[in-house]
Chain A
C-alpha cells in the first residue's frame, strides 16, 4: 500500500506482540459477507489454517475457507494449475454462488499475474460461467487486515456491479467497512428500514456471522448479500460509504454506476449518527421514526449521566485504523483524553485522529505508552500487556477470543453509542465507587474487583 508515511512507526526490527493482521484475512472476512461464498487463499495451506482458527475463535462460528495448497514446486513454477484445480474442486464439491480469491505473500512474491489467470480460467472453463469469481491482490508483506478487506470489496464492486438504466428510489447501498461488526450491520439495517428504505449491504456479515442455525451443513457461507443483489447495486438511489478504507470501493461504485455516494467516517457518537439520520430523512422524504427519537433522547441522557466519569480520563487505544478513528473520536466527544492512538498500519484516516501520540506500532508500544493511562481499548491480544502494567482493558475489534458474543456487539447509531458509553463508563464508575468504599489512593489494575481480587 502506498499510504502516506506521515506517522512514525516503531523503530524496532522485531515487531513484538503484533497488532497487525494480514491482508488476506481481511479479504476473507469481506468474502464471508456474501451469500454462499467460499473464500480461497492462493498460497500455502498454513496461511488458510491460521486465518481460519483466528476467525473461528472470534466469531465462534464455522468458517468456510479454502486453500490452493501451494507447495515448493508450484510456488517456483507458478500457481495457475493449483488455482484452477482448487476452483474446479470447490465448484464440483460445494457449488458456491461465488468464490473469492485472495493472494498471499507466497504468490505475490513470485508475482503471479492474477488478471491474466482470471481470463485464462474463464477461457478454459466456460461451463463454470455461473459461478461468480472475484480475485483480490492481498500480499501479506504490505498493508494489513483493513487494506485486505477494502481490496476484496473493491474487487467485488469492479467485477460484479453493473450500471443500471433504472433507479429504484427506495434502494440504498451500504459499503460496510471491516470496523462494523455483524451486530453493527444489523443495527444499521434496522435504522435504514425504519425510513422505508431497503438497504443492500456489501458485505453483509449480519446475515452470515451472527449465530445462524442451519438446517444442513454447508461448506460455504450461510447467508450474506447475494450475488444478484450485488449486481443490482447499480440501480440504487444512493450509496452510504462507511469508513475511510471503503472510500476507494465507493469511488469505484460511483464511477461505474453513477449512483451518488455519501461518505461517513464514523457512525459512533451523537453528531455522527445525527448526520446519518439527516441523510436518511432526505433520501426517504420521511420523518424519523419515534423509536429513533427515543433512542436519541436516551443517548443524550446517558451522555449527561456519564460525562462525569469520562472527563480527562487518560485512555490508550490500539485498533485497526477506521475503528481507531471511531473510538478515539467518541472518547474525545465524551471529554476523555486519548493519550495514545496506535494503528497497525498507515492509513489516511490517521491524519484526522485526536490524540496526544499517534503511531504505527504493536501491543508492546501500547504497553509503553499506556503506563499511566486509566484504560486501554484494544483487541484480546492486548490482555498480556494490560495485565503487566496493571491497566484495565476494554476489548473491541478483532480478534476477541476471550469474550462471548464478540460478533454481535453494537457500537453504531444512538443505541450502539449508548451501549459503548455505558460499557466503558461502568469500568470507570466501578473503580470510583470502589475507591470511595476502600478509601484507598492506589489504584489496582483490574478496575475494581473485576479480576476477582479484593480490589484494594
Chain B
C-alpha cells in the first residue's frame, strides 16, 4: 500500500523533471540514492511533519520510539495566531515490550487520551520506522479510533526509511488528499477564495502577505499549512485558485486538486519585489478568469504600484551601503532564483548560488537571468566553501542554519534564510526586513575585532608596554 503511494508520487505528471524521464527512471523515483557515510538531511517522517505540523489546532502524535519526537520537538519556527496545541509534542514512546508485543493498543490509548484531554478537531498520527518494521497497522488503528471517538484521526504513513524529506512532504500531501481535503464544507464561498499550498508561516511570514490579499479582496480560504486550522484545510476543495509556494514539495497536492475539483493552480513565490508582484497579478488574473469581479485586477494593480514604490523608496538607503558587497547564496530549489532577483534589486552582487536541490527549470531560469558566467554549484563541499570565504571571496554568506559554522568559523558574516530563521522575509515588507538584517550583520563592529591576531601571534611589539 505504502509502496503504491510512493510509486504514485514518483509518477507525478505535474513535475517537469519527472516528465523528462523514461519509464524506468520514473520508477526509481526522484530521490537520489543516499550514500552511507556521506549523506545529510532529514527523512520522510521529518518531511511529513514539516508539512502538517503547522496545522495549529490539531494534535500531532508520533508513533515510534523516543528518538523520532524526543530529539526533534519544539524546533521549528512556524507561527500560529491562535491555538498553540501544535507545539505540544505527543509520542507513544515505544519501549522494548511494545516492539515485541506490538504497539497498536498503546497507540489507540494514546489517541483516546489526547482526545479526552485536549479535544482537538483532529489527530494526525505519524508512522515511523520501528513500528513500520514490526507491522503496526496505523491506518486500521486510526480508522477504529475515528469511529470510536467521533473525531478525524488521520494516519500519515511516511516512516523515515522510505526516503528523503521531499518524499515525506509529498506523502503528507497524500494524507491530506485522502483523509482531509473535501471533508468539510465552508459556511459560505466567494468568487475570490484561494488556497495557498506549501507556505508554513515561518517567523510569521504569511502575516506579511495576508493583509495585502485582504486589501485586494482575496479571501484566503485555506493555507496548507501555515497558521492553519484543521477545518480550513478540510475546506480547501472549495478554493477557486490554488497557489503553490514551494513547488517541488507539494506539486502532487496542487495537481490532484485540479484533477478532482477542477481548481487551477500556479506556482508562485513571495520572495523578492518582482516575484511578489507577479504572484499577486497571476492570482487575481486567474480568479477573474474563473468569474471573479474584474475590478479585482485594478485593485491588485493599485496595491502593487503603491507597495512597489514604497519598497523601492525604503530600499534606497541600503544601496550605497551594499555597493560592491558580494553574497554567497546557499539555498535549495525555488528560493535560489527567487532570492537572486530580490537581492540584486537591493544593490548586492551575487557571486553564485548552490543549485543542488533546484530543478532543471530553476537552473535555466538563473542562466537566463544571469548569463553563463554566473556560478551555479551543484555539489560544493563545506571545506571548499570555507576556503572561498577565508580567501575573502565573499562578504556575506546566506544559507540554512546547518552550514552557518562554515561561515562563522571563517569569520565571515552569515545570515539564516532557512526554516529556523527568526525574521520574516516574505512580501514587500519582508524584503526590507531582509536588507535590514544583511546591513545589520555586515556593519557589525565585531568582524574587525575577531580577525585580530592574538597577542601571542603578532610579532614583538614596538612599544614596551601594550597598554593604551
Chain A interface (Cβ < 8 Å from any Cβ of B) = 12-18, 20-22, 24-25, 40, 43-54, 56-57, 61-62, 66-72, 75, 82-83, 85-90, 93, 104-106, 109-110, 139-142, 144, 213-214, 216-219, 381, 384, 401
Contact = CB atoms under 8 A, between A and B. Distances in A.
Given A14-B90, A14-B110, A53 B129 contact: no
B61 interface: yes
Interface in B60-81: 61, 64-75
A72 B70 contact: no
Minimum-distance CB pairs A-B, first 7 = A46-B43, A89-B37, A86-B37, A22-B67, A86-B36, A217-B386, A14-B110
A100 B424 CA distance: 39
20 contacts: A13-B106, A14-B91, A15-B66, A21-B70, A22-B66, A45-B34, A46-B46, A46-B160, A47-B67, A49-B41, A53-B72, A53-B402, A67-B36, A71-B34, A83-B36, A105-B65, A105-B99, A110-B133, A141-B65, A381-B73
Contacts of B129: 43-44, 75, 105-106, 109
Interface residues of B, number: 67
B73 A71 contact: no
Contact of A90 (B37, B64, B70): B37
Nearest to B114: A14
Contacts of A89: 35-38
Give the residue among B66, B112, B134 with the most A Cβ atoms within 10 A. B66
Nearest to A87: B37
Interface string B152-185: 0000000011111000000000000000000000
Contacts of A22: 65-67, 70-71
A369 B465 CA distance: 60
B39 interface: yes
A437 to B, nearest CB: 33
A21 B66 contact: yes
Contact of B133 (A106, A217, A218): A106
B405 A61 contact: yes
B130 A15 contact: no
Given A75-B161, A213-B409, A50 B71 contact: yes
A398 to B, nearest CB: 11
B68 A50 contact: yes
Given A53-B75, A70-B161, A16 B88 contact: yes
B406 to A, nearest CB: 6
Interface in B70-108: 70-75, 84, 87-96, 98-99, 106-107
Contacts of A106: 129-130, 133, 160-161
Contacts of A71: 34, 161-163
Contact of A93 (B38, B39, B114): B38
A69 B36 contact: yes
A233 B217 CA distance: 73
Given A106-B130, A142-B95, A47 B160 contact: yes
Contact of B386 (A13, A40, A88, A216): A216
Given A14-B114, A214-B409, 13 more contacts: A13-B92, A14-B113, A22-B65, A24-B67, A25-B67, A25-B71, A85-B37, A89-B36, A106-B133, A139-B65, A141-B98, A384-B74, A384-B88
B40 interface: yes
B409 A62 contact: yes
B382 interface: yes
A72 B349 CA distance: 45
Nearest to B385: A217
B291 interface: no
Contacts of B99: 105, 109, 141
B34 A12 contact: no
Contact of A49 (B46, B87, B161): B46
Chain B residues touching A, majority SS: helix
Interface string B266-298: 000000000000000000000000000000000
Nearest to B106: A13
A358 B94 CA distance: 22
Contacts of B64: 105, 140
Contacts of B410: 217
Contact of B75 (A54, A83, A104): A54
B39 A18 contact: no
A216 B134 CA distance: 45
Given A16-B89, A44-B43, A44-B161, A109 B134 contact: yes
B133 A18 contact: no
A209 to B, nearest CB: 12
B383 interface: yes
A13 B113 contact: yes
Nearest to B75: A53
B401 interface: yes
B197 interface: no
B121 interface: no
Interface in B29-62: 34-46, 61
A88 B129 CA distance: 25
Contact of A105 (B111, B130, B405): B130
Given A18-B91, A21-B66, A381-B74, A46 B106 contact: no
Given A18-B93, A141-B98, A142-B95, A68 B37 contact: yes
Nearest to A72: B161
Nearest to A49: B42
A54 B66 CA distance: 14
A45 B96 contact: no
A21 to B, nearest CB: 5
A140 B34 contact: no
A66 B409 contact: no
B447 to A, nearest CB: 14
Contacts of A52: 402
B109 interface: yes
A51 B91 contact: no
Give the residue among A52, A71, A89, A217 with the most B Cβ atoms within 10 A. A217
A30 to B, nearest CB: 16
Give the residue among B45, B91, B106, B385 with the most A Cβ atoms within 10 A. B91
B93 A20 contact: yes
Interface string B100-142: 0000001101111110000000000000011001100000000
